[in-house]
Amino acid sequence: MNRLSAAGLLALGIAHATYAQDWASTSPQANRATTQYVVQFSAPSAPTTLSWKPLASTGPGDPTFGPLLIASEPSDKSSFSRPYSAERLSLLNPDFSLATSSDASPASPSPYSYMGREYRMQLGVGIAFVRFRSSAFSASAVGVNTSFSYFLKDWLAMDGSVTSAFAPAVYSDNVRYMGYAAGPRAVLSRGRWESWAHALIGGVHVSPQTALGGKNGFELQLGGGADYNLNPHFAIRIEADWLRTTLFSQSQNSGQGILGFVYNF
């Protein structure tokens, strides 16, 4: 019985040793088979391919993994909708939109627009013709008109106007007329043309002295005109006004016409 037990234990030990040798001889091949793989990532939206490759073996049949390698361009471009190219990259504009060579350069702003107003003031100078009528005398005087306008809005300005005119002698003395007034002006622009109307209140001085009274009185000036813009700064002006004056203790209805130039600034 003891001999049979000893023989069984010896046979079991021999079988176990044989199994251990077979397992040790096959495990390196299994490990090598496990490490021999390459992982690649590719997607239609990915510009790169990730690859893992083993380093050279540190010993017979014992390779180890190397660092992660990133390819700059995939070898197979068929999986991408468009081939990757560095020339496709472009800088961004300050507004974070892609810049393209076909973008048109912005137009430079115009320094003057006939439909708008880039200036605020006007200075006008012209030849004035005044037809003065009264019960004391009547005269046709020629002189100079000077006006100044300041624009509060594109269509509204404040006007100031002074007219000095002279006529042949009446009662052995030359006729001198001076009217001065100020008030609002409304403007309507159409292209190069600018039509306007104004209502001015001021005073008048007329000589010579008559037996009917003083030479100074009140003046109301109602009228309008049109400016034709030659360029951003200069224009031609025509104007016609009705003059309502109070002189010699009476009221007079007179008129004036003006032809001149305007400087915009």
Q: What is the pLDDT along the chain (265 residues), one digit of tens a residue?
A: 566 655 666 666 666 555 555 555 554 554 444 444 433 444 444 444 444 455 444 455 555 555 555 555 555 555 544 544 444 444 444 454 444 444 445 554 444 444 467 889 999 999 999 999 998 889 999 999 999 999 999 999 999 999 999 999 887 788 999 999 999 999 999 989 999 999 999 999 998 877 787 789 999 999 999 999 999 899 999 999 999 999 988 899 999 999 999 999 9
| Pairing relationship of beta strands 216-229 and 156-170 according to DSSP bridges | unpaired
CA distances from 219 to 60, 123, 182, 204, 254 (A): 121, 22, 10, 6, 10
The pLDDT of residue 257 is 98
Chain-centre distance for alpha carbon 212: 64
**pTM of the full predicted structure?**
0.57
The pLDDT of residue 42 is 42
Q: Rounded CA gap, 238 and 228, in Å?
A: 9
The residue among 132, 136, 221, 240 whose CA lies nearest residue 176 is 132
**Strand segments (E) across 65-172:** 69-71, 121-133, 138-151, 156-170
Q: Hey, is 125 helix, strand or coil?
A: strand
Q: Which residues of 60-77 are buried (b: 16+ CB within 10 A; e: fewer)?
A: eeebeeeeeeeeeebeee
The pLDDT of residue 189 is 92
The pLDDT of residue 48 is 47
- Retrieve residue 3's tokens: 């001999």
Domains and CATH numbers, the chain: 36-75 (no CATH), 121-264 (2.40.160.20)
Identify whether the C-beta of residue 216 lies closer than 8 Å to the C-beta of residue 140. no
- Retrieve residue 253's tokens: 């209805």
